[in-house]
């Protein structure tokens, strides 16, 4: 009955951090632009492919490739914000049109441009770490470390820097923030940029642990939305908590039931949270 | 304006009656018409739910419930179609009723997320409950509608032409019912709720009750639509009722325009026809679809149904002198 | 004011008329040219898994170009150029039914090819069978005399199981306990069920399985559970190309050192590279051969296909190209053997043919006793093994389906 539980916990926590990375970007965009950016999963996917092309075709070291991808997708996010999302801030219906349109566009382009021969990023840190009967691959450990580092970095930026405090102000009340002299448009662009960069890094990490596929974004966006709803929109610690809880559910429930049941349980938990406390476990706003 | 609206409806009714006959020899076009009809039913129901500001992102779940109910009743329990069909709607509505009250208390984007996850849960249950639904293998050999003999007239609904008329008949009934709701006192109440929930509540409108009612009515029609889908395809599996399906219906509504009653109709018809018309583009076809979505986003924010008004507006702008003279 | 209203009415009517006309035009078919043979093709060009099906459809187009370049199809002295009409089934049963209807009723084809997913192939067959249209599916699993007009151009994956289990018992005679991982997909479920029959037949021990949804990115949780059954052998059944290497790598990372058996024709180079390290890429075997290179005992037709593909597309030729090539190739052989463009004649001729040439060599045709009619193309089954990071081709095996 307890067989595999320890491994399951480790697996869960490790995957959880990748969910967190995806969710952070999504949460940022939602807090500041007020729209649920469905195409976030596609940015994750494109980020993974950028890392692939940089790393495998361009022979650039993995870490540098991650950075390049973050920059490229960050800029991409800023452009999207300028061209598309700025004018529909806070409005749900046009946001759906825009996000779904982008999703279809990116998926179609990805299939045509990248499709066919399946691509993967070779392991940067091959091998396993054995710890008391539990085995964790080194690239997953690396993903966990990246998750911790980036989350802490974001947290510090928001709490300590002027820009971060401006972002906090805009997420609470854009009009009041504007009255205080904060350039809401600039903050809006910056959030999309940072959010997209985070998604790109998550995609690159996932691409090296597993493999790339033009449709890998669907998985990311479903998990990302689940995490921020569970944890609470507008809260970084909420995203972390939500990500780890969902990761644990995915890691442990399959041991006692099936993978489908794990997904059902996970979603039911979220539905309950939404019914009882829509703001999420640690949300404010 | 009123005259224009009646003319519009007459034109629509004319198309509905004539189109199947015109295309009676081409099964493919009849299927496209059937798909249009089913999508119109679903999109209009979605709009009905949306009139109180509830964006449902899990609508295909209820179609799925209706489809599987109807399929299982006719396939495994030997029910005739005419019994299974209304039951499909009723079962979907029953499920909706159970969850309606807790669900509609939640508003805005949270409601959308709630229904999105509900849709996924239903789909996963269909996959997991192998013994009932056939799981991933799905159901095959679902019986067709069968034939009826009425006053000496024998109609076999297995063939596509009568089936198409049946779908259109259900569609017209759905539209009439939803239109009446929209224009009635109920409709005014709902509009008030959408404008400002708190004010409405303060004048004694039981907001929750109306929201729940609309949710159930919408899901009833989704159930019926699911049954129609099952009996023309004759083959079912959970893939037809995925998240993307629900999102497409939402897109049809948003692209068509939520404000006007005709919005979802225009949206559903145009966006069902586009992938079919551009089949020759094969894997590039979604790009045309995307182009239409972006066109609406940038130029026709109120939706495709707004196109005539927009054209009128543009003409007014270019001929201001004439406007003054009129 | 009146003029403006008129203008608006004209504008709207024009728009409506254009829409209506376009719809009507959809209903028009060209007068068929006496010198072309229209053949329909159904593939999932959009939706999940589309990247692979696009390659299959391109493989089929490659076959069409090759046949047309040689003069086309010759029937009763007349040469016909093939006109291939490819439709996107969008990966759903309703898409399959709609596409099949278009091909049959609008384009009026007499022959349809395509699809490797049995559930969708059945959806297409539900349209082609009543209309007596011959359907050459790339894989068709539920063969019965009721699908009188459907043919499987590629042996179903089910037929590989005995060959794989033969090799297992020969090479690892002391290992008995088998566990399985299976995707929640109709064909994988069938293959796994047949696998369990093989295990029982051979006196092996079945210790359990784990099922997971298609498109699962992370196998750690699946493998964690399966390894709690303490298997000696892992049967990973069918997986899409990206999954096999990932499954094997993660299984080894979690400490599994026994043999891993696969069921799909994955590119061995890809699988080995995905696994990454020599210690992990070992004791794994699956029914495939290296299509990307020209090594190891490749049949002549395969060599032709590889050359055609690399000349045209300049990318590695993968096994999916063959899946697209075979339905059209075997169909044309049947048509020329029958010397008739009537589907009934062609099907009847095919049933009596002893062999047909395919991408993987000369194949027998079988299925009479098992399915009630001879509609199964029994392509020889290749077997490849990964041994300490090396790719070893183990040869071709004849498939027997009586």
Residue ranges of domains in chain B, CATH in brackets: 2-325 (1.10.3470)
| pLDDT value at residue B131 | 78
Q: Look at the block and give the residue holding tokens 């225009």.
A: B266
| pLDDT value at residue C367 | 86
Give the C-side interface with A, CB within 8 Å: 46, 48-52, 54-55, 184, 210-213, 215-218, 220-222, 224-225, 227-228, 240-243, 245-246, 250, 253-255, 270, 273-274, 276-277, 315-316, 318
Residues of chain C contacting B308 with CB distance shorter than 8 Å: 8, 11-12
| pLDDT value at residue C31 | 46
Helix, strand, coil shares of chain C, percent, nearest 5, are 45, 20, 35
Nearest to B315 among C4, C105, C126 (CB): C4
C50 Cβ contact partners less than 8 Å away, ≥ 6 residues apart: A111, A115, A214, B283, C44, C91
Q: Which of B114, B141, B98, B136 is nearest to B241 (CA)?
A: B136
Model pLDDT for residues C167-215, shown as the tens digit of each residue: 999 999 999 999 999 988 778 888 999 999 999 999 999 999 998 877 6
| pLDDT value at residue B53 | 72
- A94 and B297 in contact by Cβ < 8 A? yes
| pLDDT value at residue C5 | 56
Residues of chain A contacting B243 with CB distance shorter than 8 Å: 222
C171-176's contacts with Cβ under 8 Å and 24+ in sequence apart are C171/C259, C172/C233, C172/C258, C172/C259, C175/C232, C175/C233, C175/C258, C175/C259, C176/C203, C176/C204, C176/C205, C176/C232
- B287 and A105 in contact by Cβ < 8 A? yes
Q: Whole-angstrom Cα distance, residue C378 to residue A103?
A: 41
Mutation site, C14, C49, C101, C131, interface B, largest B CB count within 10 A: C101
- Domain range for residue A186? 19-223
Å between C389 CA and nearest CA of chain A = 15
- Helix pair C186-201, C160-171: axis angle to 10 deg: 40
| pLDDT value at residue A178 | 83
Number of structural domains (chain A) is 1
A65 within domain boundaries: yes
Interface of B with A in 252-271 (CB under 8 A): 254-255, 258
- C215 and A214 in contact by Cβ < 8 A? no
Closest chain C CA to residue A1: C228
Nearest to B28 among C86, C101, C185 (CB): C101
Model pLDDT for residues A41-86, shown as the tens digit of each residue: 999 999 999 999 998 888 888 999 999 999 999 999 999 988 888 8
Half-sphere exposure of B116 (CA within 13 A, CB side): 21
Nearest to A258 among C50, C211, C276 (CB): C211
Nearest to B277 among C12, C26, C105 (CB): C26
| pLDDT value at residue B313 | 81
Å between A212 CA and nearest CA of chain C = 8
Mutation site, C55, C90, C212, C218, interface A, largest A CB count within 10 A: C218
Give the C-side interface with B, CB within 8 Å: 1-4, 7-8, 11-12, 15-16, 19, 22-24, 26-27, 45-46, 50, 54, 57, 86-88, 90-94, 97-98, 101-102, 104-106, 119, 122-123, 126, 184-186, 189, 213
Domains of chain C, CATH where assigned: 36-156+300-380 (3.40.50.2300), 158-290+383-397 (3.40.50.2300)
pLDDT tens for each residue of chain C, 402 residues long: 455 556 556 655 666 666 666 655 555 544 444 589 999 999 999 887 788 899 999 999 999 999 999 989 999 988 999 999 999 998 888 899 999 999 999 899 999 999 988 788 888 998 999 899 999 998 877 778 888 899 999 877 888 899 999 999 999 999 999 999 998 877 888 899 999 999 999 999 999 999 887 766 678 888 988 999 999 999 999 887 778 888 998 899 888 999 999 998 888 888 888 887 888 889 999 998 886 554 567 888 988 998 999 899 888 888 889 999 999 999 999 999 999 999 999 999 999 998 999 998 899 998 888 888 889 999 988 999 999 988 888 888 888 887
In order, the DSSP letters of C201-238 are HTT-EEEEEEEE-TT----HHHHHHHHTT--SEEE---
> Which chains, if any, share at least 3 CB pairs under 8 A with chain B?
A, C
pLDDT tens for each residue of chain B, 326 residues long: 455 677 778 888 888 888 888 887 788 888 899 999 999 999 999 998 887 778 888 899 999 999 999 998 888 888 888 888 999 999 999 999 998 888 888 877 888 888 989 998 998 888 888 777 777 777 877 877 777 666 666 777 777 888 888 889 999 999 988 888 877 766 677 666 666 666 666 666 677 788 888 889 999 999 999 999 988 888 888 878 888 889 899 999 999 888 888 889 999 999 999 999 898 888 888 999 999 999 888 888 777 877 777 778 878 877 765 545 44
CB-CB contact of C92 with C46 (8 Å): no
DSSP state of C286: E
| pLDDT value at residue C1 | 47
- A116 and C50 in contact by Cβ < 8 A? no
Q: In Å, what is the CA distance from C198 to each residue of B33, C163, C272?
A: 48, 10, 27
Model pLDDT for residues A155-171, shown as the tens digit of each residue: 898 888 888 888 888 88
Model pLDDT for residues A226-263, shown as the tens digit of each residue: 888 888 877 788 889 989 988 888 888 888 877 778 78
Helix, strand, coil shares of chain A, percent, nearest 5, are 75, 5, 20
- Positive or negative, the CA dihedral A139, A141, A142, A143 is positive
A265 within domain boundaries: no
Q: In Å, what is the CA distance from B81 to each residue of A46, B69, B72, B230, B268?
A: 48, 11, 11, 11, 26
Q: Whole-angstrom Cα distance, residue C172 to residue B190?
A: 72
| pLDDT value at residue B204 | 62
| Strand ordering across the sheet containing C355-358 | C73-75, C78-88, C36-43, C111-113, C134-137, C150-152, C376-378, C361-366, C355-358
- Positive or negative, the CA dihedral C296, C298, C302, C305 is positive
Mutation site, C44, C225, C291, C324, interface A, largest A CB count within 10 A: C225
Mutation site, B130, B144, B156, B279, interface C, largest C CB count within 10 A: B279
| pLDDT value at residue A45 | 93
A277 within domain boundaries: no
Nearest to B26 among C50, C105, C186 (CB): C105
Q: Whole-angstrom Cα distance, residue B75 to residue B90?
A: 18
Nearest to B254 among A97, A270, A278 (CB): A97
Residues of chain C contacting A4 with CB distance shorter than 8 Å: 224-225, 227-228
Q: Which residue has the higher pLDDT, A150 or B151?
A: A150
- Helix pair A92-114, C50-69: axis angle to 10 deg: 40
């Amino acid at each position: 009955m307890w067989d595999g539980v320890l491994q399951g916990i480790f697996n869960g926590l490790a995957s959880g951090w990748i969910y967190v990375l995806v969710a952070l970007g999504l949460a940022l965009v939602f807090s500041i632009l007020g729209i649920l950016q469905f195409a976030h999963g596609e940015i994750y996917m494109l980020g993974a492919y950028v890392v692939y092309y940089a790393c495998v075709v361009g022979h650039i070291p993995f870490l540098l490739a991650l950075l390049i991808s973050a920059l490229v997708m960050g800029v991409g996010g800023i452009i999207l914000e300028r061209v598309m999302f700025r004018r529909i801030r806070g409005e749900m219906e046009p946001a759906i049109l825009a996000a779904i349109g982008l999703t279809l566009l990116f998926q179609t382009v990805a299939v045509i441009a990248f499709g066919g021969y399946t691509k993967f990023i070779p392991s940067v840190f091959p091998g396993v770490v054995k710890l008391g009967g539990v085995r964790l691959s080194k690239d997953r450990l690396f993903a966990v470390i990246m998750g911790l580092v980036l989350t802490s970095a974001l947290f510090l930026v928001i709490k300590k820097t002027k820009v971060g405090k401006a972002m906090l102000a805009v997420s609470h009340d854009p009009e009041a923030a504007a009255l205080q002299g904060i350039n809401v448009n600039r903050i809006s662009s910056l959030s999309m940029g940072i959010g997209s960069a985070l998604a790109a890094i998550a995609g690159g990490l996932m691409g090296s642990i597993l493999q790339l596929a033009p449709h890998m974004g669907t998985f990311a966006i479903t998990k990302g939305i689940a995490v921020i709803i569970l944890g609470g929109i507008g809260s970084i610690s909420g995203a972390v908590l939500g990500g780890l809880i969902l990761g644990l559910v995915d890691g442990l429930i399959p041991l006692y039931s099936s993978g489908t049941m794990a997904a059902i349980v996970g979603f039911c938990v979220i539905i309950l949270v939404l019914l009882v406390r829509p703001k999420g476990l640690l949300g404010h706003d | 304006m009123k005259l224009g609206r009646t003319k519009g409806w007459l034109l629509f009714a004319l198309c509905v009656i004539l189109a199947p006959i015109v295309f009676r020899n081409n099964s493919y076009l009849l299927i496209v018409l059937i798909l249009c009809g089913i999508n119109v039913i679903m999109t209009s129901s979605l709009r009905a739910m949306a009139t109180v500001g509830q964006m449902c992102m899990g609508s295909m779940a209820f179609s799925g419930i209706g489809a599987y109910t109807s399929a299982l009743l006719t396939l495994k329990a030997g029910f005739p179609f005419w019994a299974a069909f209304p039951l499909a709607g009723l079962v979907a509505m029953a499920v909706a009723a159970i969850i309606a009250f807790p669900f509609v208390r939640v508003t805005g984007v949270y409601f959308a997320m709630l229904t999105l996850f509900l849709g996924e849960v239903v789909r996963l249950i269909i996959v997991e409950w192998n013994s009932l639904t056939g799981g991933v293998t799905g159901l095959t050999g679902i019986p067709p509608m069968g034939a009826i003999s009425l006053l000496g007239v024998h109609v076999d609904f297995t063939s596509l032409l009568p089936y198409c008329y049946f779908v259109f008949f259900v569609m017209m009934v759905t539209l009439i019912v939803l239109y009446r709701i929209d224009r009635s006192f109920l409709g005014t109440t709902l509009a008030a709720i959408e404008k400002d929930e708190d004010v409405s509540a303060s004048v004694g409108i039981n907001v929750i009750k109306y929201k729940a009612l609309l949710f159930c009515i919408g899901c009833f029609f989704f159930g019926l639509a699911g049954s129609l889908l099952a009996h023309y395809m004759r083959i079912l599996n959970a893939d037809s009722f995925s998240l993307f399906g629900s999102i497409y219906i939402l897109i049809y509504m948003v692209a068509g325009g939520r404000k006007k009653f005709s919005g979802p109709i225009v949206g559903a018809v145009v966006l069902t026809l586009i992938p079919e018309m551009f089949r020759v583009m094969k894997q590039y076809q979604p790009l045309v679809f995307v182009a239409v979505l972006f066109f609406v986003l940038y130029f026709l924010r109120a939706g495709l149904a707004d196109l005539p008004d927009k054209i009128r507006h543009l003409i007014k702008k270019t001929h201001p002198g004439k406007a003054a003279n009129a | 004011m009146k003029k403006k209203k008129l203008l608006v009415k004209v504008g709207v009517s024009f728009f409506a008329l254009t829409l209506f006309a376009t719809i009507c035009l959809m209903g028009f078919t060209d007068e068929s040219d006496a010198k072309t043979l229209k053949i329909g093709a159904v593939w999932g060009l959009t939706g999940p898994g589309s990247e692979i099906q696009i390659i299959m459809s391109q493989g089929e187009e490659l076959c069409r170009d090759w046949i047309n370049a040689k003069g086309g199809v010759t029937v009763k002295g007349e040469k016909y150029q093939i006109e291939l009409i490819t439709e996107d089934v969008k990966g759903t049963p309703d898409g399959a039914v709609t596409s099949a209807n278009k091909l049959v009723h609008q384009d009026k084809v007499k022959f349809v090819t395509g699809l490797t997913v049995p559930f969708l192939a059945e959806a297409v067959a539900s349209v082609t069978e009543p209309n007596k249209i011959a359907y050459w599916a790339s894989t068709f699993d539920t063969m019965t005399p009721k699908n009188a007009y459907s043919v499987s151009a590629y042996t179903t994956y089910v037929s590989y199981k005995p060959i794989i289990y033969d090799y297992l018992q020969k090479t690892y005679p002391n290992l008995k306990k088998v566990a399985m991982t299976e995707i929640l997909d109709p064909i994988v479920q069938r293959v796994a069920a047949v696998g369990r029959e093989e295990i029982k037949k051979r006196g092996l021990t079945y210790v359990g399985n784990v099922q997971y949804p298609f498109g699962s990115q992370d196998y750690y949780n699946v493998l964690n559970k399966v390894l709690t059954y303490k298997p000696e052998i892992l049967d990973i059944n069918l997986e899409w190309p990206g999954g096999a290497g990932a499954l094997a790598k993660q299984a080894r990372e979690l400490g599994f050192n026994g043999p891993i058996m696969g069921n799909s024709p994955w590119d061995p180079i890809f699988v080995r590279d995905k696994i990454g390290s020599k210690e992990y890429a070992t004791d794994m075997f699956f029914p495939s051969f290296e299509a990307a290179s020209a090594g190891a005992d490749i049949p002549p037709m395969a060599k032709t296909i590889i050359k055609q593909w690399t000349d045209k597309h300049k990318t590695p030729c993968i096994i999916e190209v063959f899946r697209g090539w075979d339905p059209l190739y075997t169909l044309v052989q049947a048509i020329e053997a029958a010397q008739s463009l009537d589907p009934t004649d062609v099907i009847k001729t095919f049933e009596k043919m002893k062999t047909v040439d395919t991408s993987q060599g000369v194949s027998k045709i079988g299925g009479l006793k098992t399915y009630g009619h001879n509609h199964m193309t029994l392509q020889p089954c290749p077997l490849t093994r990964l041994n300490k990071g090396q790719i070893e081709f183990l040869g071709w095996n004849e498939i027997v389906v009586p």
